[in-house]
Amino acid sequence: MSDQKAVGRPRSAEVDEKLKRAALKLVRERGYRDVSISALIAEAGVSRQSLYNRWHSKADLVLEALTDDTEGLVQLPDPARAGSAQAALRDFLHGIFRHLALDGTTLRSLIAAAQEDPAFREALRTRFVEPREEIVTALLARAQSAGELPAGRDIRMLSAFIHGAFWYRLLNGLPLDEDTARDIAAAIFAP
């Protein structure tokens, strides 16, 4: 890598980072709806153009900020460590639900924004939703191979049940807590 490239790249990456940090900070403080593009660029200390160079909209920026921030949660849990696939699913869900105390309202707003904007709906689904669904599907597939789930069970549909129950409770304003995580995992693995 040449010196020039080493100097050039971090410059733009730094601006992106500033915008993503500003986005998370402001949506957490004020709520997604009440954060304007002007407030975002003022908080980040960058130009409006540098936001639009990289993202189409506020929704796009907030989606990337949230996706990056929850990267650590998107890891296949280890059933051996948790004790069983059921316990691993419970712990995985509980980790996500704990994080929703911070960003659940933002996620609700992004899902709402996606309903009025087909391009953003596609972005939300492919960049955020599907990678998370894949984690759970992989966990269930492994559990099925290990005989913890009957061979005939439809793993893809069970994964949709799990994420569906999570969205359904989130969007209806119902609590998502440790009990919910335990009950979802128990219902999936019920004999």
- For a copy of itself, the closer of residues 141 and 165 by Cβ is 165
Cβ neighbours around 61 below 10 Å, total: 25
Encoded one letter per residue, x for contact with a copy of itself by CB under 8 A and - for no contact, window 117-136 reads -x--xx-xx---x-------
Cβ neighbours around 149 below 10 Å, total: 19
Nearest approach in angstroms of CB 12 to a copy of itself is: 31
Nearest approach in angstroms of CB 174 to a copy of itself is: 8
By CB under 8 A, which span of 10-18, 45-53, 68-76, 107-115 interacts with a copy of itself? Answer: 107-115
Encoded one letter per residue, x for contact with a copy of itself by CB under 8 A and - for no contact, window 170-189 reads -xxx---------xx-xx--
CB 59 within 8 A of CB 23: no
Pick from 18, 21, 54, 108: which binds a copy of itself (CB under 8 A)?
A: 108
Cα end-to-end distance, the chain, whole Å:
57
Nearest approach in angstroms of CB 24 to a copy of itself is: 18
Cβ neighbours around 144 below 10 Å, total: 17
Cα 4 to the center of its chain, rounded Å: 35
In this structure, what DSSP letter does residue 71 have? G
Query: Binders of a copy of itself among 70-89, rule CB under 8 A?
Result: none
CB 118 within 8 A of CB 127: no
Cβ neighbours around 137 below 10 Å, total: 18
Nearest approach in angstroms of CB 123 to a copy of itself is: 11
- When asked if residue 168 is in the footprint of a copy of itself (CB under 8 A), the reply is yes
Q: How many residues bind a copy of itself (CB under 8 A)?
A: 40
**Strand locations in 30-165 (E):** none
Task: State whether the Cα torsion 167-173-177-183 is positive or negative.
Answer: negative
Cα 81 to the center of its chain, rounded Å: 24
- For a copy of itself, the closer of residues 76 and 171 by Cβ is 171
Binding site for a copy of itself (CB under 8 A): 33, 108-109, 111-116, 118, 121-122, 124-125, 129, 150, 152-154, 157-158, 160-169, 171-173, 183-184, 186-187, 190-191
